[in-house]
Amino acid sequence: MGSTDPRSQLQFSQVSVDLILPLRHRMLRQGMPFESARFPGDADDATVHFAAVQTADEKAVCCLTLMAAEWEGAAAWQLRGMATALELHGQGIGRQLFDHALSEARRRHPTWPLWCNARTSAVGFYQRVGWEVVSDEFEIPSAGPHVKMVYSGA
């Protein structure tokens, strides 16, 4: 009795926003109009979208977006819309995709810090990959309780 490691059937790469919108909608905006998964800034030249894509069907199973945004008055990357298909949670795919995106972010702008508004339900994941909470909890009306986090890892 064996099973194939789903991570071996994935490609981690920069992608178009259109490839990740179905996953963003399903995981982050369920019950809302599909267009709610499209974020202001998605089409900006400085914005980069990343996904773990199943090679068999070209579907995104994990995604994240990095947008140029200020943090404490300086140029920075804001991580937005990170999501992993529910059936693949806990398999290290989010960490692999974040590492891939971080490498590209550092190549483009080595000194830019990274920050995000993280759902409180995802704080543990972010902390495990090197982020720290830097704010009190606050509510985003369309998405629930969040905290601000900054990446402090290597």
- The two structure tokens encoding residue 7: 């991570």
Cβ partners under 8 Å of residue 46, min gap 6: 67, 68
The Cα 85–Cα 47 span in angstroms is: 22
Per-residue pLDDT of the chain (154 residues; tens, 9 = 90+): 333 445 569 999 999 999 999 999 999 999 999 999 999 999 999 999 999 999 889 999 999 999 999 999 999 999 999 999 999 999 999 999 999 999 999 999 999 999 999 999 999 999 999 999 999 999 988 788 999 999 987 5
Model pTM? 0.91
CA angle 32, 59, 21 (to 5 degrees): 30
Q: Three-class SS of residue 139?
A: strand
Domains detected in the chain: 6-151 (3.40.630.30)
Q: Which amino acid appears at position 103 of this protein?
A: S
Structure tokens at 26: 């399903």
